[in-house]
Amino acid sequence: MSQPEFVSATPEAPHVPQALNFDSQDLQACVAMMQGGSKTFFAASRLLPPRVRTAAIALYAFCRVADDLVDEADADDSPLELLQARLDAIYANTPHDHVEDHAMSLLVQQYKLPRHLLDALIEGFAWDAGGRTYDSIEDLHDYGARVAGSVGAMMSWIMGPQSTDTLARACELGVAMQLTNIARDVGHDASIGRLYLPRQWLVEAGVQPEAWLARPSFTPAIAQVVTRLLDEADRLYKQAHSGIAALPPDCRAAICAASMIYAEIGHQLRREGLDSVNKRTVVSTTRKLMLLASAWTQVHWIRVSEHIPAPLPAIEGLVHGCQAIAQQTGHKAYFPNRAMPQRVAWMLDLFERRETERLDRNALRQTA
């Protein structure tokens, strides 16, 4: 794995991007959208440096609106066509008259954000809304690449793109996190008629997917499938781990800690007996702090793997698309010197925010 090219954090660095300079009213509207949708995410964003924080707010606002637009669409609506038209206008620098579109247009123009990443994310939203089913683990990889790998790639691009191999590991970490989410939320997903566990695995364990979905319950067979899913997540966490060593030194501990803390959800689920049908596993604040401290020590022992694995097939399009655009635009990597707790808070909330908001929206619908 090659060492990524990045611009030195000096005042003279010619490619260091500045904070988005969009109208203060637009920014405040996006902040209000974030604050109303996810207080945890809002608090974490305040700890980010201005260059990243403003871009994160713009990205959050647009992704939030896109998710809601697809998820809440009526049967006769065409949310995907509307979103594609809005993206066309954003990339033409003629955004529609929405606060989040204006903010996103500035982000796109300043960072040359690859369009294919947003297209992938929106496609993942559409899969949720359409009730897509996942027969194999490869199908689930495809889903995770869209709803989690794409977000990781976008934030990585905003901070500064990595080499192809390093970006591949970052996307795989996102997929691992999404598999952990799925293993944790089996019961909740079933309550709204969704089943993300690979159906081939269910059948092999003696579970008929549709019958189980009609009357979800925790059984040894379900525990077996959840175990397999966590095993796959752990494999991807491990595969992504060596990529940390190729990051700039001031980023390694943060990414290591984020990976460890999110993987701990799966470890805690195992300790609790694998029952994610009747309850939702959480990692205590104390445990998170312990892992945070541990990352400072462990990161010094991480080494780049001598045998670079091929990218997970599901994320190849994301990775190679970014690489091609980076070569065309001369986009360079830049990493500000931020404290580890700030970077960890950002990364965890970025991948968790969509799951949390989905839970909130569904709870509101059930009480309506």
Distance between CA atoms of residues 206 and 133, nearest Å:
18
| Residue entry with tokens 């207080």 | 39
**Per-residue tokens: 353:** 């925010």
Q: With beta carbons less than 8 A apart as the criterion, state whether 261 and 348 touch.
A: yes
Q: Does 271 score more than 80 pLDDT?
A: yes
Does some domain include residue 158? yes
Q: Does 232 score more than 90 pLDDT?
A: yes
Which of 36-40, 175-179, 195-199, 245-249 bottoms out in mean pLDDT, i.e. has the lowest?
A: 36-40
Does some domain include residue 1? no
Does some domain include residue 54? yes
Q: Does 275 score more than 90 pLDDT?
A: yes
Q: Which residue has the higher pLDDT, 146 or 328?
A: 146
Percent above pLDDT 90 for the chain: 35
Distance between CA atoms of residues 78 and 76, nearest Å:
7
Distance between CA atoms of residues 185 and 182, nearest Å:
5
For residue 285, which amino acid is it? T
pLDDT value at position 224?
98
Q: Does 356 score more than 70 pLDDT?
A: no
DSSP calls for 209-230: HHHHHHS----HHHHHHHHHHH
Distance between CA atoms of residues 173 and 266, nearest Å:
14
Instruction: Please tell me the total count of domains within the chain.
Output: 1
Q: With beta carbons less than 8 A apart as the criterion, state whether 246 and 281 touch.
A: no
pLDDT value at position 214?
95
Distance between CA atoms of residues 73 and 198, nearest Å:
26
**pLDDT tens-digit series, residues 327-354:** 777 665 443 334 444 445 544 554 555 5
Residue 93 CB neighbour total at 10 angstroms: 10
Does some domain include residue 349? yes
Q: Tell me the residue range of the domain where 194 lies.
A: 6-367
Percent above pLDDT 70 for the chain: 70
Give Cβ neighbours of residue 159 (< 8 Å, ≥ 6 apart): 52, 333, 334, 335, 336
pLDDT value at position 182?
96
Q: Is 334 helix (H, G, I), strand (E, B) or coil?
A: strand
Does some domain include residue 194? yes
CATH number for the domain that contains residue 207: 1.10.600.10
Q: Quickly state the pLDDT bin for 15 (edges 50, 70, 90).
A: very low
* Whole-prediction pTM: 0.76
| Mean local confidence (pLDDT), 185-193 | 94
Q: Which residue has the higher pLDDT, 85 or 63?
A: 85
Burial label for 120, CB within 10 Å (0-12, 13-18, 19+), is: buried
**Per-residue tokens: 287:** 């445990």
Distance between CA atoms of residues 327 and 321, nearest Å:
10
Burial label for 14, CB within 10 Å (0-12, 13-18, 19+), is: exposed
Residue 167 CB neighbour total at 10 angstroms: 27
**Per-residue tokens: 187:** 């019961």
